[in-house]
Structure 1
Amino acid sequence: MGKLDGRVALISGGARGQGAAMARVFTAEGARVVIGDVLDDQGRKVAAELGDAARYVHLDVRDADQWAAAVAAAREAFGRLDALVNNAGVVEIGTVDEMPADAFMRVVEVNQLGVFLGTQAAVPALREAGGGTVVNISSVDGLIGLKYLSAYCASKFAVVGMTRVAAMELGPDGIRVNAVCPGVIRTDMTKDLHEMQVKWLHRTLPLRRFGEADETASVALFLTSDDSSYVTGTEVVVDGGWIAGHLTP
């Protein structure tokens, strides 16, 4: 038996990187998944790879109507919704004195508003299913600051705060809400890091390597499965020791 047999999960940002890894891990453990993303070709490709256990829907997480349609698609295709993973995210780099306001707000709208709208859209279906789980993908940058990432850090700190509040509000309905805080994970978001940054990270991270998308996905699986049945309102850090401290290069 799989850890998610009979369950239906909606994963935002599921077309690539961590989201696609979650879709693969979840279906391998018996779940049926709805992959939401704005990358239509890539999202359809992942869904086709997973066969009858997956569907793809176009989902701009900033749009409440598109969230409603994604939840409806899950219920139409699979009859219910048991789990939500708020994974979609973007980053903008810039100093606090120079970052344009529209760039800042783009990050906030995707990373922060998107989590709020997704949770809000999913809750009625989760209640109807008799309970369920919400996993919000925050970041180590939702726990510590990092230069040039004011918008990203602000949005990811907000995700941690919303996670705790939602866990308190939804716990009586049998809905558990937790956050995952990845560090440097090998995805499209980190592929453009400068060579010097990569070398420095490999020298200073306690585990001396980047994380893999599957390593984040396995934690999302844990928080979605009954293995974490008494875990809610908290963060699981998946960072290779980043916030524990840096080794001397």
Structure 2
Amino acid sequence: MIFLLSSIGGVMLLTAIELRWPASTEPSTRLVNAKVWALYAAVTYALVPIVGSLATRGVNWLGGGVFDLASWPIVLGVLAFAFAMDFGEFLFHRAQHAIPFLWRMHSLHHSDPNMNATTAARHFWADPLIKAVTVWPAVGLLFKPTPLILVIYASLSLYHYFAHANLRVNFGRLSWVLNAPAYHRLHHSADPQDYGTNFAGLFPIFDLIFGSYRRPTRFVQTGLAERPRGLLDAIVWPAKAR
């Protein structure tokens, strides 16, 4: 409940800042995003922590988990787990753009014509469940996280709302260190020349290593030609998307 309230509070604050200093004044789809978020939140906050944690713990119980993070200093343990999870998210994100049936789900996220903080929750409802049974147990093969580390990592995911914000925030030459609105906006670009760039969720170093890094030097428009008209479209999106 605290995490959900923090998400709502963070989005409300970012939305207020966006409305005062918008990077783009294109029409917003925040109302559609809010409806999608309600369904997404029900899955994410009710099922994913349970499914993901059980999958990770299950892998650990079966003998997975080369490194037991309980014996590590908490800061080092959090960083190691966060990097491993973000690398898993990065690979999954690449797969979403390469595998047609995953793209049909993921394209709902990219269809927003004016990327903003609420876009961070504009995902097809099955996406988090797929990650819960792929990324989470894969990381469980490497690490045994403590409950505290899992809680801290969940809190770090709130940063994604900022990374999607409709703000002109650019880390410039340091854009390879941490994701930012300008960096991630390029990933959502409607311009084909920007396709296949900046997949990272938190740490762009993975884009740099795998050749998909592009430093943001210009402001771009976002979105796809096909968009959901409402919640029902979003619920059945893969059946409609091309």
TM over 0.5: no
Q: TM-score, normalised by structure 2?
A: 0.28
- Specify which structure has the higher proportion of helix: 2
Which structure's relative contact order is higher, taking Cα pairs within 8 Å and 6+ residues apart?
A: 2
User: Where is the strand percentage greater, Structure 1 or Structure 2?
Assistant: 1
